[in-house]
Structure 1
Amino acid sequence: MVLLDIIKRELRRLTSRKIYVVMMLVVPLACSFFLLNLMHEGLPLKVPVGMVDLDHSSMSRQIARSLNASPLIDIDSDFESYHEAINGVKSGDIYGFFLIPSDFQQKAIAGEKPTLSFFSNMTIFVPGSLSFKGFKTIAVTTAGGIVKTTLVSAGADENMAGALIQPLVIRTHPLNNPWTNYSIYLCQSFIPCLLALIILLVTVFSICQEHKTGTSVEWLEEARGHMGIALLGKLLPQTVIFTSVGLAIQAVMF
């Protein structure tokens, strides 16, 4: 009976101040929906990057089209020099750039081993790593295509040239998260941590409010001097509310 009286008292206190309603219901649900909506695509796509084409040949244009067709990056700007591109990275307009040197096609056809360069801003990890992955994929594919063309021109069979370039075909099957969805990694850790932080803050706030407003004596008297019963009666309604909010968040996530 004593515990029931304390629970009723705590329910009256929870409904008497808007801060409890906001902190226990509005904030966790709003933050959860915000994070889930922010990560709904699962993986950031089309990171803005730049292109420095000093060759202006058919091969360099093919490389640019391949880069732009990649789902990870988007050629947002074309630059005339390395310095313009690096300034674009420093200003934050792009997260990296791909540089094709002059006489690239001529050297590639002549077998002189031209160099493809790409630069990624790894200060911001996710777009930097995505741009690096997109650049590297196109660079490796271009190098393999040039080698294959050279071998076929030298008289090798096309299938044999392909087998020499890639003797093994690698198939990747990510377990449990085949879409490599970032939301599965991040939201399942961020949202529970956020809810735990809010629970800690509300618990401390509600107990300290008893001392601040001078009602702690009344609180203990109603519990007949038993601190354990007083805490149980105070925290039990909060536990029920936060458990319901947590289950609601789980239902939205899964």
Structure 2
Amino acid sequence: MFLEGKHALITGSTSGIGLAIARALRAEGAEIILNGLGEADEIAKLQEELGARFNGANLLDADAIENMMAEIGPVDILVNNAGMQHVSPVEDFPVDKWNAIIALNLTAAFHTSRLAVPGMKASGWGRIINTASAHSLTASPFKSAYNASKHAIAGFTKTIALELAQSGVTANCISPGYVWTPLIEGQIPDTMAARGLSREEVINDVLLAKQPNKKFVQPEEVGALAVFLCREEAGNVTGANWSIDGGWTAE
């Protein structure tokens, strides 16, 4: 287990992609710090399963992020995975939703990264992995805030990769297509309303229509890619945006 002794913070890790990444890193020996939403008993079960710590900091609050990072101490692996979505035409897009999506999907990653980097640089090793999206490389209608945040996180990742290039710290994006997670399932009703489609039409004609292989990405596949990016063999992989989208962005 090549990650023994490494501490990994994964935001948005109480379900979906983040939980899959946490499990994959734990399987290689990493000490896990969970962060996310959920019922207390369910989170307690995850802590027991993974031997993990949990910090429920509200990532929309910069002060809460600072407190979390101070409380958990230095981390070797930072996975900025927490995210949210809202689907609406731009002229009707709620301002509070725009602000929240940018804050969670982008600004929170800035705060966690800026606070984690000094410790990584001091130790001469670190991995920053940002969960972006196929929407970091292409766009879909009615998702202005999400598209903007994911394009921005890709640019942010490249910037810090360049800044850290000689430090032993790498920074990369993983950009999944549609993964069957609570986030994707939760946006189906909004897409139905925005486009006037049935649930089945949204799944078949909107979601999987984007992926040429007609398969949802599995969370475990994303977890496996995150593990690879933590390996020593990936030490020269930095500033990259890894698509895992069934060929979506190849078109």
User: Structure 2 length as normaliser, TM-score?
Assistant: 0.28
More helix by share: 1
